[in-house]
């Protein structure tokens, strides 16, 4: 039984992979026209469908919106009961259907054409009603569903999904949609944070551990313990950074010194510590920490003055890692 389950799983993946690979034959002049039509449109992309195709349509809408192409979803069944009012004169309509013959599709197509909007059909049957009536046709024909009965939409919906992603990516490139643009639409997600969150957004929530060059061992330990950042900066009277003392530096000093009564911060500090400015992206701070295999960075301002510490835990807490 276990072998049969694994065989069926692998067969499903194989069939769906073949469906995706088969799409390469359909990336043709019609595909180019679809992308150019959407790109040149002054309106939105209104995507519609019925059944599983409708669910795929909602995903494509989400992808387009998050990558800079305004889109909205209109269920084919609801469209003929009032939702057609969603369509504006400059909108492009993308209607998704495997068969192209669903009753809702046959009712909806003439209505859209009467509105005068450009109609794109994403369809798996090139002789269907939708394929014949659409202004431009995206072919998503698959030779076989992954369903053992060749009935349940599986490979066909995968093909529709990938075709939608392909359109979205092409539009991103035409629109010169950058990572910073992506962050504007994803301010709450970890991906967006990687593009906009800066060191200044993080270190200000931490303590500002700091000692002078002649601070005693007790003072150093107290400052490090209070801040809970595992380190303290060593600064001069002008707030310029002279070095850093980590809890590891303290332990190493204790291993080599017998009389700790005369130990000062100058005996423990590591000179030339890694520093970062306040306006650097937090993801760059992460790269510095990883590259140097350290847990803290000293934060300085434009005047090279010490302003605080940023810790690896700050980046973990914000989901940057």
Angle at the Cα of 146 from the Cα atoms of 143 and 152, rounded to 5 degrees: 100
Q: Are 20 and 159 in contact (CB under 8 A)?
A: yes
- Counting every residue, how long is the chain? 321
Q: Is 75 annotated as a binding residue?
A: yes
Secondary element (H or E) of residue 45? strand 45-49
**Phi and psi angles of residue 268, each rounded to the nearest 5 degrees, phi first:** -120, -20
Q: Are 103 and 128 in contact (CB under 8 A)?
A: no
Angstrom distances, CA of residue 40 to CA of 2, 48, 174, 214: 53, 20, 10, 68
> Is the CA virtual torsion 284, 285, 286, 291 positive or negative?
positive
CA distance 235 to 232: 10
Annotated binding site for Zn(2+): 75
> Annotated binding site: which residue ranges?
75
């Amino acid at each position: 039984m276990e072998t049969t389950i694994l065989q069926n799983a692998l067969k499903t993946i194989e069939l769906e992979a073949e469906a995706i690979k088969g799409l390469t034959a359909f990336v043709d002049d019609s595909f180019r026209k679809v992308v150019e039509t959407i790109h040149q449109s002054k309106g939105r992309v209104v995507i519609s469908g019925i059944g599983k195709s409708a669910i795929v349509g909602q995903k494509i809408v989400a992808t387009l919106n998050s990558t800079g192409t305004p889109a909205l979803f209109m269920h084919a069944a609801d469209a003929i009961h009032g939702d057609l009012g969603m369509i504006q004169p400059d909108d492009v309509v993308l209607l998704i259907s495997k068969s192209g013959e669903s009753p809702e599709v046959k009712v909806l197509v003439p209505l859209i054409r009467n509105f005068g909007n450009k109609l794109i059909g994403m369809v798996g049957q090139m002789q269907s009603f939708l394929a014949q009536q659409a202004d431009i046709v995206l072919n998503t024909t698959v030779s076989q569903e992954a369903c053992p009965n060749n009935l349940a939409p599986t490979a066909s919906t995968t093909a529709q999904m990938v075709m939608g992603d392909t359109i979205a990516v092409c539009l991103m490139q035409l629109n010169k949609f950058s990572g910073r643009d992506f962050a504007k639409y994803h301010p709450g997600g970890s991906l967006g944070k990687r593009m906009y969150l800066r060191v200044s957004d993080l270190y200000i929530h931490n303590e500002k551990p700091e000692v002078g060059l002649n601070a005693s061992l007790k003072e150093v330990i107290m400052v490090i313990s209070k801040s809970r950042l595992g380190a303290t900066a060593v600064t001069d009277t002008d707030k310029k950074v002279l070095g850093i003392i980590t809890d590891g530096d303290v332990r190493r000093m204790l291993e080599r010194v017998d009389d700790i009564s005369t130990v000062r911060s100058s005996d423990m500090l590591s000179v030339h510590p890694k520093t970062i400015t306040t306006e650097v992206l937090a993801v760059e701070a992460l790269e510095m920490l990883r590259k140097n295999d350290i847990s803290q960075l000293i934060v300085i301002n434009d005047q090279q003055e010490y302003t605080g510490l940023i810790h690896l835990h700050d980046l973990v807490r914000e989901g940057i890692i």
